[in-house]
């Protein structure tokens, strides 16, 4: 069941990637205007409005504003669902819809205003339409919403763009969408036409993906020790990078980091990285601390997801970790529900079984080389463990509030031994799971 769900995720991601590559070829009423290249015949053959009268109809569009803030308004005959996101190098905003019949005035979109140089639109796949905005520079979608019909006015899609600098723009992108090019090269590429970034298709990398998630980062320091000089965010990043390097040496797995520098990543985005990559395993790295006066605990602990924490300490820790989203100004209440039917519920149960299995293997490997907590296996409601289809664990390497643990946490020798034990556990877990699952179909 988990394999089938992962196939669905991979298929969806593949369709979106294919659609993104097709963006420069999209055909709307504007495609042949202003010297734009002619579309392929297969796209030009999309049925006209009369043949798709059951689809929502877009009848007009307009831009308003200036180089700091620009608004796009699309008139519709009925409200539609949509998804808007930004892309870098070149700077673009993409809006995806269920299939729409574009009946816009001739030539619209060939010119721009404010932050938008031009826009194009059309059918990108059966049942799916898209508008792509070419931007004059880095900008974010400050607001996006649908206005219901009122006072004789039709339903309208409204997008509000706001100017950003390059650094803020890149930080606004999901981690998996951030460009890895140096800024100077990225800026040069941004000046090239859309088609310049199209690359010949490469053979897909079928190696299992392991996502390593160093906790906290940026404005969220995590726990601290040594008068505040030793921060959890730095300890776990160093450990996570070392674990990545060790795993990659085998060449059997592809490793994805949720962060590789001192950057704040909202908890929900960390989970999205694992799901978007169809990860075989998600490992979140942390280091705990007990408040002064609440005793002294030591040793590593491995957490799996539970709706109810196994003890008050686990519950306290989960509450602290889950609240860290507020540091970045992210409202968890507003996040959309990703689990919508019984199938996903079943996948969640299977995923929990795999998570527990990996936790036991990891404890078995770590206890031979690492000082473990007296109760090393626990469960709590950590938000980063809530991907419904990715086996996930959260590892507390030790307590920075304990002198002995702190000495180990800053020790390179201890880090190397612990990384080795975790890498062996990951290899043992995935080797057994892949052998059980059989070849991908």
* Residue 84 near residue 137 (C-beta atoms within 8 A): no
Over the stretch 369-409, which tens digit does the pLDDT of each residue have?
889 999 999 988 888 888 878 999 999 999 988 889 999 99
Degrees, nearest 5: CA angle 212-216-219: 145
Over the stretch 284-325, which tens digit does the pLDDT of each residue have?
999 988 776 555 788 999 999 987 656 665 665 566 555 554
Q: Is the pLDDT higher at 322 or at 205?
A: 205
* Residue 209 near residue 240 (C-beta atoms within 8 A): no
Decide: pTM greater than 0.85: no
Sequence-ordered list of residues with C-beta below 8 angstroms from that of 362, at least 6 positions apart, any chain: 302, 393, 395, 422, 425, 426, 429
Closest CA to 91 of 161, 138, 23: 138
When pLDDT is cut at 50, 70 and 90, the band that residue 34 belongs to is very low
Cβ burial, residue 410 (10 Å; 0-12/13-18/19+): middle
Over the stretch 52-107, which tens digit does the pLDDT of each residue have?
458 999 999 999 888 888 999 999 999 999 988 888 878 888 899 999 999 999 88
pLDDT of residue 152: 83
Q: Is the pLDDT higher at 12 or at 263?
A: 263
Give dist(CA 287, CA 165) in Å, integer.
34
Cis before 90 (ω within 30)? yes
Is beta strand 101-102 parallel, antiparallel or unpaired with respect to 57-65? parallel
For 228, phi then psi, to 5°, come to 95, -5
Is beta strand 116-125 parallel, antiparallel or unpaired with respect to 83-87? unpaired
* Residue 397 near residue 285 (C-beta atoms within 8 A): yes
* Residue 136 near residue 115 (C-beta atoms within 8 A): yes
Sequence-ordered list of residues with C-beta below 8 angstroms from that of 301, at least 6 positions apart, any chain: 288, 372, 373, 375, 376, 377, 378, 395, 396
2-21 and 342-366 helices, crossing angle to 10°: 110
């Amino acid at each position: 069941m988990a394999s089938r769900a992962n196939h669905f995720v991979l298929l969806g991601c593949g369709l979106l990637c294919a659609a993104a590559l097709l963006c420069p070829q999209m055909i709307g009423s504007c495609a042949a205007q202003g010297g734009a290249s002619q579309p392929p015949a297969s796209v030009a053959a999309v049925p006209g409005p009369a043949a798709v009268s059951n689809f929502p109809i877009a009848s007009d569009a307009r831009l308003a504003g200036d180089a700091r803030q620009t608004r796009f308004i699309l008139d519709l005959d009925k409200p539609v669902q949509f998804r808007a996101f930004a892309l870098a190098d070149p700077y673009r905003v993409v809006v995806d819809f269920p299939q729409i019949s574009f009946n816009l005035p001739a030539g619209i979109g060939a010119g721009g205003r404010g932050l938008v140089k031009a826009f194009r639109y059309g059918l990108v796949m059966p049942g799916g339409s898209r508008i792509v905005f070419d931007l004059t520079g880095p900008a974010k979608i400050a607001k996006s919403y649908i206005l219901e019909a009122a006072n004789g006015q039709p339903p309208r899609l409204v997008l509000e763009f706001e100017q950003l600098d390059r650094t803020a723009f890149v930080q606004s992108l999901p981690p998996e969408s951030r460009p890895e090019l140096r800024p100077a090269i990225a800026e040069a590429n941004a000046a090239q036409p859309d088609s310049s970034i199209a690359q010949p298709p490469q053979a897909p990398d079928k190696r299992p993906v392991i996502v390593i998630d160093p906790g906290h980062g940026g404005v969220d320091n995590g726990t601290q020790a040594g008068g505040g000089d030793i921060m959890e965010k730095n300890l776990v990043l160093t450990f996570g990078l070392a674990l990545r390097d060790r795993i990659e040496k085998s060449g059997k797995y592809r490793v994805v980091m949720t962060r590789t520098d001192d950057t704040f990543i909202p908890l929900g985005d960390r989970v999205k990285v694992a799901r978007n990559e169809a990860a075989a395993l998600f490992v979140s790295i942390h280091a705990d601390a007990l408040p002064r006066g609440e005793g002294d605990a030591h040793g590593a602990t491995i957490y799996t997801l539970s709706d109810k924490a196994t003890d008050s300490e686990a519950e306290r820790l989960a509450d602290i970790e889950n609240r860290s989203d507020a540091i970045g100004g992210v409202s968890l209440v507003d996040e959309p529900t990703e689990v919508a039917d019984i199938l996903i519920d079943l996948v969640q149960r299977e995923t929990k079984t795999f998570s527990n299995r990996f936790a036991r293997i990891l404890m078995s490997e770590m206890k031979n080389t690492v000082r473990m907590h007296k109760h090393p296996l626990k469960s709590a409601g950590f938000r980063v463990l809530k991907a419904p289809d990715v086996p996930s664990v959260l590892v507390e390497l030790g307590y920075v509030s304990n002198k002995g643990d702190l000495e180990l946490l800053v020790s390179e020798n201890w880090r190397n031994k612990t990384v080795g034990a975790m890498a062996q556990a990951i290899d043992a877990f995935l080797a057994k799971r892949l052998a059980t699952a059989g070849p991908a179909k």
